[in-house]
Amino acid sequence: MTSAHPSHPDSGEPDGSLGELLRLAGPIALSRLGIMGMGLTDAIVVGQYSATELGYHALGWSLTGPVLYGGIGLLIGVQVMTARLIGADRPQDTGAVLRRGLSYAFWLGVGFTLALLLIGDWALHHVGLEESLADGGGAALKVFALSITFYMLSDTLLFWFEAHGKPEKGTIAMWAANVVNLVLNLWMVPGHSPFGIDGAIASGWATFGARLSLLLFLLAFLISWDRSRPYGAYARAPRDPPAEREQRRIGYASGASFLIEGGSFSGLNILAGWLGTLVVAAWAVTLNVAGIVFMIPLGLAGATSVLVARGIGARSIVAVRRAFRLGLLVTAAVLVLLSLGVWFDPALIARAYGSDPALIALAAPALLLSCLFFLADGLQVVGANALRARGDVWWPTRMHFISYIVVMWPIAYGLAIPLGMGLNGIVWGVIIASLVSATALIWRFYALGERLPEKAGDVH
């Protein structure tokens, strides 16, 4: 069967078209840029205040980041299951998916927060860092951990709105939260707050306020949306064990994949920390810029995932393939342009994060080199999201383990320390790992042929 599914009320064009991909991808990308906008604000404000505090900030994220990414991955099932139900013309059942997702998000957030508070500081003091670095990073980590639950609940709502074709709600909420974050950072980081805190710890409290505001904004959108009630957002749905298992199955694989990828990248903060405070600050700049660029393909990957899942709900392999092909082509074109922008003047970008000449001298060459992995990193995330939407949820997890643990870490370590390449050695490790991941994930999607998940229309 290759016919399109019944039209969803919020879809302006046929699923899988370039227009529909861009209509979804634009707001999703802006929303993901808003995620990085918070990190960018934190890094710039803290970096202008002190390069040392920027290093503390980066180390605070070295453990909280992977936990947060893993938790978000556990919730990807909300987006995939909602989109499949829409593809099967059953939007009235999507509220049950949201309610399950919010319950998972709350308990996961509480558990992760407690785990980080109990072992996070101890872990930083036992990975070979200088005592002062571990002290500063551990203090920041504790504050970052307190707002994880807010953020995970927010992502559940974001995924649900995006699958319904309403990503602009999340975009507006995310950028409103960015305004809150900027105001709090400018007030607190230089030590102006009445609490007498400054630097990385103050930035952590600014993040707390911003994430809480994000959740409140999204809840306000949910309550005010006239389709929330017809779609079952407020009704207690009957138990559906097969759908619950499928939502968790997608989440387990995605969560493991996100944890591996995010943990590997954040763990490179530790590797940079072995090279000194200035190197970890320069790596923070490089990773932050790469993260901002990555939000564009992440948005395109999210849109591709929604369209692939809708095609599966409609049992249309033509729609599935068309969505994937468009996602790859648009992502490649956008990333070439973004790479040229960074290549034009990396030192100018580095200066936005601090005026220390030594920091700029380290960060600028690394930023230039990072242009080489932007394209591969973007294509691999499109491939991974499309495979999850297609039901092949464990292949991305395996490939992320191979690419970012087996390949990236030994190469990055070997080039950075034994071969003396320092920060550039770390970047080369990322380049090679991203190429391996992108190649394997794209190959896998096409190797599946015409296979679709069984009973996709019933999301079982």
Q: Is the pLDDT of residue 457 over 80?
A: no
Mean pLDDT, range 74-101, rounded to an integer = 90
Report pLDDT for 442.
96
Report pLDDT for 16.
54
CA distance 307 to 445: 15
Contacts of 446 (CB under 8 A, 6+ apart): none
Q: Is the pLDDT of residue 192 over 90?
A: no
Per mean pLDDT, which range of 24-28, 97-101, 369-373 is the poorest? 24-28
Identify the CA nearest to 46 among candidates 362, 221, 285. 285
Report pLDDT for 432.
96
Task: Considering only residues 350 and 40, tell me which one the structure prediction assigns the higher pLDDT.
Answer: 350
Mean pLDDT of the chain: 86
Tens of pLDDT, residues 240-268:
888 888 888 888 888 888 888 877 887 78
CA distance 376 to 437: 8
Report pLDDT for 456.
39
Per mean pLDDT, which range of 270-279, 328-337, 389-398 is the poorest? 270-279
Q: Is the pLDDT of residue 11 over 80?
A: no
CA distance 435 to 240: 40
**CA-derived radius of gyration, the chain:** 21
CA distance 270 to 362: 17
Report pLDDT for 10.
52
pLDDT tier for residue 8 given thresholds of 50, 70 and 90: low
Amino acid identity of 142? K
Instruction: Write down the domain spans for the chain.
Output: 18-458
pLDDT tier for residue 380 given thresholds of 50, 70 and 90: very high
Mean pLDDT, range 25-46, rounded to an integer = 81
Task: Considering only residues 288 and 107, tell me which one the structure prediction assigns the higher pLDDT.
Answer: 107
Report pLDDT for 164.
93
Report pLDDT for 454.
65
Identify the CA nearest to 403 among candidates 254, 253, 265, 272. 265
